[in-house]
Amino acid sequence: MKKYTSFIILAFAAAFILLPSLFAVADTITLKSSVQIQGKIEKEVGEFMHVRVGDRSIRVRKDEIAEVEKNDLDGSYDLEAAKTAAQEEDRKLTETLGLNEEQRDTVYRYISLLNNPDVSKSRDARAALVKMQSDLNIVPYIVFLLPSYLPPVVLSVLELITEISPDQAKEVLREYAFFTDENVRAKALEMLGVIRDKSSAELMMRGLLDHTGIVKIGACKALAMIRAQEATPLLIHFFDQSDLRIQNNVRQALSALWSDGTTTVSFNSQQEWMAFWQEKSASVQKTVVLDHLEPLVEEGTHFSGC
């Protein structure tokens, strides 16, 4: 069976751990173009320098070389060093994330199925991850994997960790409220509302200033769930939005902020809401200076792809 974790280890550790040990550093030749060649200088013939790189020899023009750092190594591939580095990284992952290789493989495999077109496979994978969390803490490893996924999978993962461990999800959701993809920003805000994180009210209000409708809608839902009454004037500002989806969510949020189990508060015009706020404003604690709010991301920000 393919070992997913081995792939993850190599992918994440290559730049930091494996490269220095896979290739014995050898003579470091820096070209004027800033390109570096790791090899063993064999000889100099006329205008060229002959360099042994692994099992082949290349020629480099002397006038293209900016600097040569001499050492005693030969630039060969060290397979044993690679294995040792991979084993050490596996040990560190187990120690840091609390899951052994087999458990990490299982989590990785199930996450890869979360967005499967076969709904039964997706549902079963989600259920399996929920079950795993009841026996182990798989969230740190999921968070470790999260940066490697594209937005559609990130959306599913944010929902998952919110369900299985709201406390651990909170900081992750706050971080992803600033993500470049608007769907991810909207989902992060909405999930902060789901866990009733009132301390994130400012982030939710900033979401209302987003340049995309989907984030505005996510912010409306979140503010409604935590009943952030101090956001009332900001919501009133968007009461007559031309986008009917935003308009409807703004109006639903305003009603949710002020209604309770016995009384429903709802007005049909922006002016009525403004008059209502003038009446209620003094009784509402203000923790956020609305005039100082800025959008979560710069206008025009979008996920650029791989």
Number of Cα atoms under 13 Å in the Cβ half of residue 139: 19
DSSP state of 303: -
Residue-level pLDDT, tens digit, the chain, 306 residues: 444 455 444 444 444 444 444 444 568 888 877 777 878 888 888 888 888 887 777 888 888 888 888 765 555 555 676 677 777 877 888 888 889 999 999 999 999 999 999 999 999 999 999 999 999 999 999 999 999 999 999 999 999 999 999 999 999 999 999 999 999 999 999 999 999 999 999 999 999 999 999 999 999 999 999 999 999 999 999 999 899 999 999 999 999 999 998 999 999 999 999 999 999 999 999 999 999 999 999 999 999 875
Phi, psi angles (nearest 5°) of residue 152: -60, -40
Name which of 116, 107, 98 is nearest 145 in CA terms: 107
Q: How far apart are CA 18 and CA 4, in angstroms?
A: 18
Helix (H, G, I), strand (E, B) or coil at 38: strand
Q: Check the CA dihedral 179-185-189-190 and report its sign.
A: negative
DSSP state of 288: S
Amino acid letter, 306: C
Delineate the domains of the chain, giving CATH numbers in brackets. Answer: 4-89 (2.30.30.100), 165-294 (1.25.10.10)
Name the pTM for this structure: 0.73
Residue 20 is predicted with a pLDDT of 44
* Strands of the sheet with 56-61, listed across from one edge: 56-61, 48-53, 36-45, 27-31, 65-69
Tokens for 82, please give them. Answer: 């690679």
Tokens for 204, please give them. Answer: 């939710």
Q: How far apart are CA 246 and CA 210, in angstroms?
A: 12
